[in-house]
Structure 1
């Protein structure tokens, strides 16, 4: 499993440098909308409860913390903080062209 070697909150998004050298840059709003906590996703059906339209365009990650050796948790400018983003999920959400192409080959 890949782990972050470095995490940096930037104005344009959250940058993660992975231990294999890959660099992911996630727009703040993209990660906030993809929060999988119980307040944002229905537990049994996995239906999204969070309406993406309600997430402010200028949402920012204010801070983050590591959760064990498997995930990151972000504090968002809308005061949301309960989402845990496992490394595996973050890597799967990587929006770069290389990862998107690899993901489309799996399906």
Structure 2
């Protein structure tokens, strides 16, 4: 997820793609049913604009964004940690296997 996406856009993108509690926000099937085309289905801007969307109150969007941003930052940190651990493994494993290093 990109960090420069505006708060409301991040909420909309998330809620169109994910399930939240019991309510399903995904509208992929609705979008696909409105898509037309002979080579590949695509949805026109006009059809897309005609689709209704529920916009939550600003406070809910802000709370969601704060939580989502925190999670995105944690994922980024964990990916960096995983990369560093993989590098350490790749450096140490051959030495352990050859007996150069013992545990």
TM-score normalised over the length of structure 1: 0.28
TM-score for both structures, normalised by structure 2: 0.29
Query: More helix by proportion, 1 or 2?
Result: 2
